[in-house]
Amino acid sequence: MIKLIRAELRKLFSTKLWLWLLLGACVLSGGSAALLIGFADQAAASPDSGIPPVDSDAFTQLALAAGANAVVFFLILGIIGMTQEYRHRTATPTFLATPRRGQVVLAKLLTYLGISLLFAVVVNAVVVAVALPWLNAKGAPVSLSGENLEVLLSSIGAAALYGMVGVGV
């Protein structure tokens, strides 16, 4: 199983697609957090905007949840990881080398689960780096404990699941 996972990692990192997907996820999530915080004062002025006040815990959690916007990138990463076998016609040699298809699929699932977890940590670190200083400057309660930590961990967990779902598609 270790050899299969190593082979999957080699396939993934032999192209630059992973880098572009990671950069896109970071830009989308960091940009979402920045836009939300930047325009929060204008949105809060409108009573029916649905945006909580900037100085509330709910707004901090909303800003930290911007990392969850990138789950589509993890889904795409998993989809490409599975479908590239058929596109490049490497599925036949893969299944000849490892005749048990279940092991190949399990190796792909574990590989993309791990990569998605790692990438989600990076994406959420970008969100924290963008959101916390700005929230602090606006007077919002800033901490990475309690419900804020739950929001970040939920975002990371969702990204990992989407990476696995992509392999399953």
- How far is 29 from 26, CA to CA, in rounded Å? 5
pLDDT at position 120, please?
A: 94
pLDDT at position 37, please?
A: 84
- Residue closest to 18 by CA, chosen among 163, 169, 165: 163
Q: What is the pLDDT of residues 33-90, one digit of tens each?
A: 888 888 877 766 666 767 777 777 778 888 888 888 899 999 999 898 888 877 777 7
Percent of the chain residues past pLDDT 90, beyond the cut: 29
**Under 8 Å between Cβ of 155 and 120:** yes
**Under 8 Å between Cβ of 74 and 119:** yes
Burial class (CB in 10 A: 0-12, 13-18, 19+), 34: middle
pLDDT grade for 22, boundaries at 50, 70 and 90: very high
pLDDT at position 117, please?
A: 94
Residues 6 or more apart in contact with residue 154 via CB below 8 angstroms:
65, 68
pLDDT at position 76, please?
A: 92
Largest CA distance in the chain: 63
- Residue 66, token pair as written in the block: 């911007």
Q: Which has the higher per-residue pLDDT, 4 or 29? A: 29
